[in-house]
Amino acid sequence: MKVILFIFILSVFSETSVQKDMYEGIRNDMVDKQLVSRGIRDNATLMAMRKVPRHLFVPEEIAEYAYEDTPLEIGSGQTISQPYIVAYMTECAAPAKNKKALEVGTGSGYQAAVLAEIVDTVYSVEIIHELAVSSAARLKRLGYKNVVVREGDGYAGWPRHAPFDIIMVTAAAGAIPQPLIDQMAEGGRLIIPVGKPHEVQQLIMLKKEKGEITEKKLTLVRFVPLTRDKKN
Ligand code: SAH
């Protein structure tokens, strides 16, 4: 009996530690070679990127590619952004404790998890049923108690929880949805790729200071399109 218990404990231990070790080094390499070397400086962002197990946010068959410098397919025709873009958008959002974030386009839940490592609460909206269900389950399994996922059209934001310090849209829109601008908190930031679907888009940041909105062009990106719910 004692022997069996010992073997059981040993196997549980080795499984968790093997999993951790298997990707920890690769993950830290990803942070050093793809993020730090390209100018990501925000400590909280770098810590979150070192911590969140990206390989558990992609389909199992491609887990080994999770830390490569590339976007990856996550099913339902959608993609998880390249690590650098996730880190860049996170840094631009100026995340901090006590902040409240809204994400439009939960996808795999990876960007939500990165934000959740830093901010108080992340509200995330996903329009595709299967992805809303799977990302919510994944985030729960990984222990992210401060992310709330809802299935729906994020064009309208999430008025019940507004205003938000951070609004991050991870799908490309033709123009910035007015409801999202309306849901920015004082001192808040909205980050969104704007442009035509399936082309290069302009990542834009809006800031709201003393009630005034200013716009800044960031980098060029390529995101899947922000789709609209036909009921709206
Ligand atoms: N941030 C995600 C990747 C986003 S891919 C991650 O970290 O994995 C873009 C996602 O936006 C897709 O899952 C797509 O279904 C979703 N999406 C597109 N239009 C949307 C809308 N109007 N409201 C909410 N989600 C939307």
Whether the per-residue pLDDT at 18 is higher than 60: the answer is no
Read off the pLDDT of residues 139-169 as tens digits, 9 standing for 90 and up.
Answer: 999 999 999 999 999 999 999 999 999 999 9
**Ligand 1 first shell, C-beta below 6 A:** 74, 78-80, 104-105, 107-108, 110-111, 125-128, 131, 153-155, 170-171, 224, 226-228
Structure tokens given for 109: 């839940």
Tell me the C-alpha to C-alpha distance, in Å, between residue 193 and each of 92, 96, 204: 13, 22, 6
CB atoms within 10 A of CB 136: 21
> Which three-class secondary structure state does DSSP give residue 175?
coil
Nearest CA to ligand 1 atom 26: 105
Whether omega before 83 lies within 30 degrees of 0, making that bond cis, reads no
Residue 152 Cα to ligand 1 middle (Å): 10
Q: Average pLDDT for residues 170-190, to the nearest whole number?
A: 98
Determine the residue of 103, 128, 130, 223 to mutate for testing ligand 1's pocket, defined as the one with the most ligand atoms within 8 A of the Cβ atom: 128
* Residue 124 is among the residues annotated as catalytic for this protein: no
How confident is residue 17, by pLDDT bands cut at 50, 70 and 90? very low
* Atom 18 (ligand 1) nearest CA: 226
pLDDT number for residue 44: 98
Nearest by Cα to 53 from 35, 41, 66? 66
Mutate to test the pocket of ligand 1, among 81, 226, 229, 230 (most ligand atoms within 8 A of CB): 226
**Per-residue pLDDT averaged across 95-123, rounded?**
98
Output the average pLDDT for the chain: 93
pLDDT tier, 14 (very low <50, low <70, confident <90, very high otherwise)? very low
Contact call for residues 184 and 167 (beta carbons, < 8 A): yes
* Predicted TM-score (pTM) of this structure: 0.92
Q: Among all chains, which residue has been given the structure tokens 């990106």? A: 221
pLDDT tens for each residue of 196-211:
988 999 999 999 999 9
Between 4 and 16, whose confidence is greater? 4
